[in-house]
Structure 1
Amino acid sequence: MPSIRIGIWLLLICAIGYCFTTAEVEIFQLQQELVKKYGSNIDFYRFLKLPNLQGSTAKEITKNFRKLSKKYHPDKNKKFKKLYSRLNIATQVLSNENTRKTYDYYLKQGFPDYDFGKGGFFFRRVQPKTWFILLFVYTAASLIHYVLLKTQVQSQRKRIQFFIDQVKSQDDTHGLGEKNLTFQQHAEDEPKRITIRYGDVLITEDDGAETPISPDTILEPGVLDTLFFRLPWIFIKPFVKPFQSDKKQEKSSKSEKPKKVEKESTNGDVQDAKPRKSATTKSNQKVLPNGKVLTARKKK
């Protein structure tokens, strides 16, 4: 099938792009051998005993190799064969501009390890630079989120202020009296009562309470409202919620305890207040169809 073939080709291309080059593998192998023999502080510059280390030029590196080859050439002593081969590879890597850049990059970022069980070189741990990049991206996203919150609040305040200005434009008392208006946002909605009282705009709620309409009712977003703190709170909240519910239950149980009503008697003693029985009898009461009870007064 064409789709499967395309997928296989894409996987092969990705695998080739992910693999290390021959030059990189040669660098990794030599670096690993030097570390095992001389310790973790060794690198190609110290191994070649360059006076200027990383500041050495290609000519200086080549000249230094000729000097070392006179001393460690295998023709003079066969035991220097392995050492001479390593000196030669290190010189070739550092004298070439491209391979030297590659070596300097891994020298700074860290070399991968080799595992025969995994069949090649691999990075054992995530480099600190990766964590720094993740933290930077997370912080940048939080800053963008904060800017969006600020923009949203400003937009809501402008919309409310525009509504207030429209309502006040219909106030014929010029802020010196009271004006009642009705507001209906959608055709299917019940109209709301809007009151303009001495320059203040109030809306009547369903329970009859009047609530002032003002841009100041929209709170400014804080740092704790940003993604930087809100995202961790999503994972922490399930563990904190049971403790909060226990505290609420304790408070509610304390508030529901019956209070003993007491009153003072005429002689100064404190007595319990007892409910008095109604003076009216059932014969003097009449229950209406709507559930209300009428009580007839006795004639004197």
Structure 2
Amino acid sequence: MSQPLQIGILGAARIAPKAICDPAKVIPQVKLAGVAARDEGRANDFAKAHGIAQTFSSYEALIASPDIDLVYNPLPINLHAEWTIKALEAGKHLLCEKPFAMNSDEAKAMLAAADKAGKRLIEAFHYRYHPAFETCLDWIADGRIGDVTRIDANFDVAIRDSDDEIRQLPETGGGAMMDLGCYPLNWALHLMDALDLVDAKAETTSRGVDESMQVRLQHGEKTWVHLTTTMAAGTPFSAQMTIAGTEGLIYFKNPLAPHVNGSLSLRRADGSEVDQLRPVSPISTYTWQLAAIVDALKTKAPLPTEGAMILRQQQALDDIYESAGLRHLRYR
């Protein structure tokens, strides 16, 4: 029997239990081998709570350890490039949380480090690995709705405004488009092989980050993409995508996490329902993601959230912030 994939976690981040610890408990080919945090006491508590084998005294010690095969990086965005590159140079594979980097220059440096090290560098767009999204892609590829003419997508949720909320702070890569809107953008990029930015408009907070963003993109001359996102106080959770075609329409409720009350349906142009995905897999997107990574490291098969797609996404974010007059948030 082959040895399990040994995973090390940089930081006791809020997303880590859902994104990596819980999936690791149900995938026998992986082991939570270590965690490091700025506060060693916090790392000890995190390790105890999630059954992690070892606590490291520093990020450097974790990435230097021969006991670690893959590093999960959920640090604030402004630290992604530094610690991802250091871990790659130490010979580790990397799963880096979204959004990948502060800007495309950082992303290029990270990808170059992965190429030089001969290691895998994967962006953690977990939704992409769920069977519901695969079904959506298949319906479009099979021509079930004809030629795509319009995509409307949004991800909205309130994010509290406080001094310790990194998603609200310019210096840590905050902003609605970075944390939330990156998802609808990524959905669209996986649906369309080329997208050109038309324009972007933002409303900013008192701290100077984008509280909301509206984005228009175009594919060729006949397909329009409209993306919206907001993290304003009092905003209810909303994640959905509608894909209109010449012969029908796909409605995707919660593409972000289809396992949580998500649904996917296809209707003809006259409104009659043709197909519906039943059931939607209740297995979490994060579990599907980790299982795909384990398989890809074994088989050397490519993954949809690595390589050129990472740079496509990051360049699109740069262009959106430039268009909205907020380039200084990406290049500080």
The TM tier, using the shorter chain, reads under 0.3
Query: Which structure carries more strand by proportion?
Result: 2
User: Which structure has greater helix proportion?
Assistant: 1
Relative contact order, CA 8 A, sep 6+: which one is greater?
Answer: 2
* Greater Rg by CA: 1
| TM-score, with length taken from structure 1 | 0.16
